[in-house]
Amino acid sequence: MKILVTGGAGFIGSAVVRHIINHTQDTVCVVDCLTYAGNLESLASVEKSPRYSFSRTDITDAVGISALFREFKPDVVMHLAAESHVDRSIDGPAAFIQTNVIGTFTLLEAARQHYSILDDKQKAGFRFHHISTDEVFGDLHDNEGLFNEESAYAPSSPYSASKAGSDHLARAWNRTYGLPVIITNCSNNYGPYHFPEKLIPLVILNALAGKPLPVYGNGEQVRDWLYVEDHARALYKVATEGKAGETYCIGGHNERRNIDVVKTVCSILDSIIVNKPANIKSFADLITFVEDRPGHDLRYAIDASKIERELGWVPQETFESGIEKTIKWYLANERWWQRVLDGSYAGERLGLNK
């Protein structure tokens, strides 16, 4: 198949692209405008494959996106491109509306035009897979409930509201125009190539540098943690085997309080790092509680029984195995994250067209 992956230079997108190139015979075209979170170095291991291509195109560019559909003629669109950091959405929501809402609309329209000229056999196989988040559901107010495919939408932040809006557009294009859309809502991802502004890589890299490990509020917020390579497998399975018009929730079955996640990272680093930064007996000594962010959701948790029942997907990694793999990856790939921290990775984007 020919698969168009938007946001393919991002954290989850690059994991999807690496999975497709390494484990299938499909051809991939990565579409990414290379904002700060897009990093082509995350695709270095597959960029020389004859089944890989890249286009630096903004998903809000209707002319550019339409031209790309005409040129590449995808069988499947996997739409991962999004602004995704809650704190950034609070400070500057406009970019989130532009990318997540207008960008999704632009892609849906280009896909609709492309779909309209396909023959019956091609139409039967075409899918527009819209990748979303469990944050569109707001938060859970008890310790037992789980989000599922029927959960009501109640977004709390500009980020989650913009993703909720894009989900609604995707469903509407399926219902009104018959575009074969599939939606997935996932829990918190972690793993290799994660941009250092997010909790787990931030804690790892701050600890290695002897810097404070900031934890919002009292750290009691609960998240369901999903190893990114497990998620990539799930997304490919949904895109290729999922039923048009359906939604699938994807979770890691790994609920953890944020404070426990941070302490786990510290404990593993304590066991690995012999020469700690000066005056530190345990990396946990660096934990610093900071003012909670506005509208912070307390708990997310996913009921992933539908995707297991209908498509046979289950996560391979426990939180313990996944977090250990993640930490060891960061320790072994200092060049990747140092180039992110010092900004030199951004130079790869300058002057790049296609």
Backbone φ and ψ of 216, nearest 5°: -65, 135
Q: How far is CA 224 from the centre of its chain?
A: 14
Q: Please give the DSSP secondary-structure letter assigned to residue 33.
A: -
- ∠ CA 38-44-45, nearest 5°, is 130
Torsion sign across C-alpha atoms 137, 112, 241, 25: negative
Please report, to the nearest 10 degrees, the dihedral formed by the alpha carbons of residues 116, 120, 122, 128 taken in order: 50
Torsion sign across C-alpha atoms 228, 247, 70, 72: positive
Q: Sheet harboring 181-186: ordered strands across?
A: 52-55, 27-31, 2-6, 76-79, 127-133, 181-186, 247-250
Q: Please give the DSSP secondary-structure letter assigned to residue 22.
A: H
Helix 258-272 / helix 199-209 crossing angle, nearest 10 deg:
40
- Asked if 13 and 30 touch (Cβ cutoff 8 Å), the reply is yes
Amino acid at 280: I
Cβ-count burial 180-196 (b if 16+ within 10 Å, e if not): bbbbbbbbbbbbbbbbe
CA distance 271 to 20: 35
Q: For the beta carbon of residue 290, count every other beta carbon within 10 angstroms.
A: 11
CA distance 174 to 192: 34
Conformation bin of residue 193: beta by default, left when phi > 0, alpha when psi is -120 to 50: left
Nearest Cα neighbor of 26 from 44, 53, 64 is 53
- Grouping H, G, I as helix, E, B as strand and the rest as coil, residue 314 is coil
Active-site amino acid positions:
134-135, 159
Backbone φ and ψ of 324, nearest 5°: -65, -45
